[in-house]
Amino acid sequence: MSQITRTTSDGNRPGTEIKTAPSEPIDRASARGKRRGPRPSLGAQFMSSTVLWVYAFIAITPLLLMLMNSFRTNQELATQPLGLPLSPDFSSYQRAWIEASFSTYFVNSLVVTIASVVLSTVVSLLAAYGLARSQSKVLQVVESIFVSGLMMPVYLMIVPIFYLLDSMGMVSTREGLILVYTAVSIPFSVFVLGAFFRQLPLELEEAARIDGAGPFRIFWAVMVPLVRPAIATVIIFRFVPIWNDFFYPLILIRDPSKYTLPVGLTSFFGEYQTDWSTLFAGLVIATLPLIVLFLLATKQIVAGLTAGMGK
Amino acid sequence: MSTSVRVRKRQGVSGALPQRVAWLFILPAAVIFSIFVLYPMGTALTYAMFEWQGTNRGGFVGIENFLKLFTEEPYRTQIPRAFLHNFLLFGAAMIVQNSVGLFLAELLHRRKKFKRLFQTLFTMPYLVSPLVVGYLWSLMLSPLFGPVNAILKLIGLESLAQPWLGQPSTAIWVVVLVTAWQWIGFPLLLYGAALGGIPQELEEAASLDGANPWQRFTRITFPMILPIIGTVSVLTFIGAMEAFPIPYALGGSAGSPAGATDVMSLVFYRTSFESGATNAIGVSSAIAILLFLVIFGFSILFTRWFRRTERKLF
């Protein structure tokens, strides 16, 4: 074990390093102190790189195969299970999109997800601000009731929700699903946004009030712009689970023209059992918006997942 | 904060909202939440206490519906088997997914190069819908054209190729591994953040004192991240108990083959929406409450146990 112990540290926490790390000479400790603890031997470094690359391969290969196989014909898939889409064929997408009604499912998913995320974010913003800036004991109880919703099990609620929507004539409607998603999103969104509002100093509101702004004007013009990062986090962290959700629409949507993508997938997989490339195309269509969102907001997602977990 | 502001804040004059205005802000969320979450939760607890004729509520029967779960077929055989599979999912997730996640996080947090790239690649499966993940793996494992068997053939292990999802002995392990494949990014990121919070000086001091890497891990890293291990364990338990889309995609709503992939959520789903039993609402509500009690009870036990262990360590 050839270990050189380094004791320099400029107090950099991981994640704050400068992105372009120059390669260092092996025999001299760098003065940057960015690596933590003793330097691993070269052999250990090589081993750890190998393990990480192997797992990266395991994590990503099925997704790449899903994408590649959607461009290959059934014949190619049958004769050569492993192969590259050398002559990409887009007809599977056409079949999934038009024949298998994925265009309908996609629009339904998009409408339901966007409407639920927008509606739940707006009502949660209002509620979080009201709770953060009030000092009554009653409202503290209201807040704990909201946050207790984080613990509510979906299986307990689903049957009563079904009959509630039934009595309102909202089974198999997008509006019904949107209202349910909005309601179940409130606990998380109020919790996150409330934490951010509480960090903001009261002087801002005082200054605005002295300038003659009313409470709603202060809220929209002063406070909401200040919690923009939190709003982005809440939007992403509600968009993904709602887009992917399967249980609620499986039970609350009975009409195929109102299916969201996950429910559409279940009937599609029964119907197109032998048309493999179309099945792959359907899976890609259901996943693509998330991958796009992820590539646009990786930093936000990784930061959000680990928020408050550092200590 | 100047003192004058703090005094005024205590009196509730300046920065704070008057209560009536605060209520106006809270009202829309409170209305939606009450109608679609609180009211259903309240009624769910009463549903299990009545005998149902389809959608008509009959007489009050107390805990009779709960007793049926342990005395009547098919519940008597299906529920213990499903619970066993749920606990198997949890145990396997702790061993496979969370320990591998911790190991990868430990490797990753020493790196500078490609750190973000690895984090991105490892968390990709976590974003995809669990249902899509289940269906994707069912295609990957297909005995007809599945790439998995094709890869085994390629590396000369054709004897290992088999109909993974077609036989009871392997089907449940497919559910376990597919779930782990999807979820690994979650413990990885949480552990990564926890490892980042450990003061570097501790490790350096230990290695100056001659501790080897294994000792450094067991004596410093592990005790320091125990609270996060507790959090991850409880969340893993809840996830394993509520598993639904992946088993549904891999084994259908009946938990094929031969009930080998049956889990509690599927039993609940079949009872509520597929069985056509006259008292479906009563029995399925009892199942939901039983499941909730198990999740809640064990979560509290885990949390307590981890707290006690932490106190012992420090």
Residue A86 domain-assigned (yes or no): no
Residue A56 domain-assigned (yes or no): no
Tens digit of each residue's pLDDT (9 = 90 or more) over B128-149:
999 999 999 999 998 877 888 8
Q: Domain containing A161 — which CATH number?
A: 1.10.3720.10
Q: Find the residue in A nearest to B270 (Cα).
A: A251
Q: Which of residues 8-37 of B touch A (CB under 8 A)?
A: 9, 12, 14-17, 19, 21-26, 28-30, 32-33, 35-37
A196-199 contact pairs (CB < 8 A, 24+):
A196/A128, A196/A227, A196/A229, A196/A230, A197/A128, A197/A129, A197/A132, A197/A133, A197/A223, A197/A227, A198/A132
Residue of B111 and A186 predicted with greater confidence? A186
Q: Domain containing B275 — which CATH number?
A: 1.10.3720.10
- Position B288 scores a pLDDT of 93
Record the pTM.
Answer: 0.85
Residue A81 domain-assigned (yes or no): no
Q: Find the residue in A nearest to B271 (Cα).
A: A159
- Position A7 scores a pLDDT of 33
Residue A44 domain-assigned (yes or no): no
The DSSP symbol for B148 reads: H
Residue A232 domain-assigned (yes or no): yes
Tens digit of each residue's pLDDT (9 = 90 or more) over A95-134:
999 999 999 999 999 999 999 999 999 999 999 999 998 8
Domain that holds residue A290: 104-309
Tens digit of each residue's pLDDT (9 = 90 or more) over B204-257:
898 888 888 888 888 888 888 998 999 999 999 999 999 999 999 999 888 888
Best B20, B23, B25, B267 member to test A by mutation, with max A CBs in 10 Å, is B25
Look up tokens 């999934």; give the residue. A96
B203 near A CB under 8 A: yes
d(CA B226, CA B51): 46
Residues of A in contact with B22 (CB under 8 A): 130-131, 133-134, 136, 139
Q: How many CA atoms lie within 13 A of A93 on its CB side?
A: 15
Residue A256 domain-assigned (yes or no): yes
Residue B7 domain-assigned (yes or no): no
Indicate whether A305 pLDDT > 70: no
Sequence-distant (≥ 6) Cβ neighbours of residue A156 within 8 angstroms = B40, B41, B44, B45, B285, B288, B289, B292
Report the number of distinct structural domains present in chain A.
Answer: 1
Residue B301 domain-assigned (yes or no): yes
3-state SS assignment for residue B63: coil
Candidates B310, B251, B280; CA nearest to B82 is B251
Contact across the interface for B104 and A55, Cβ inside 8 Å: yes
Contact across the interface for A246 and B120, Cβ inside 8 Å: no
Residue A18 domain-assigned (yes or no): no
CA distance B247 to chain A (A): 12
Indicate whether B16 pLDDT > 80: no
Of A131, A201, A265, the CB nearest to B26: A131
Of B120, B228, B287, the CB nearest to A298: B120
B65-70 contact pairs (CB < 8 A, 24+):
B65/B279, B65/B282, B65/B283, B65/B285, B65/B286, B66/B286, B66/B289, B66/B290, B68/B283, B68/B286, B69/B283, B69/B286, B69/B287, B69/B290
Q: Find the residue in B nearest to A288 (Cα).
A: B128
Contact across the interface for B285 and A159, Cβ inside 8 Å: yes
Residue B120 domain-assigned (yes or no): yes
Report the number of distinct structural domains present in chain B.
Answer: 1
Residue B168 domain-assigned (yes or no): yes
Mean pLDDT of chain A: 83
d(CA A73, CA A85): 9
Residue B276 domain-assigned (yes or no): yes
d(CA A59, CA A47): 18
Residue B41 domain-assigned (yes or no): no
Domain that holds residue B188: 48-54+64-311
CA distance B313 to chain A (A): 17
Residue B148 domain-assigned (yes or no): yes
- Position A15 scores a pLDDT of 39
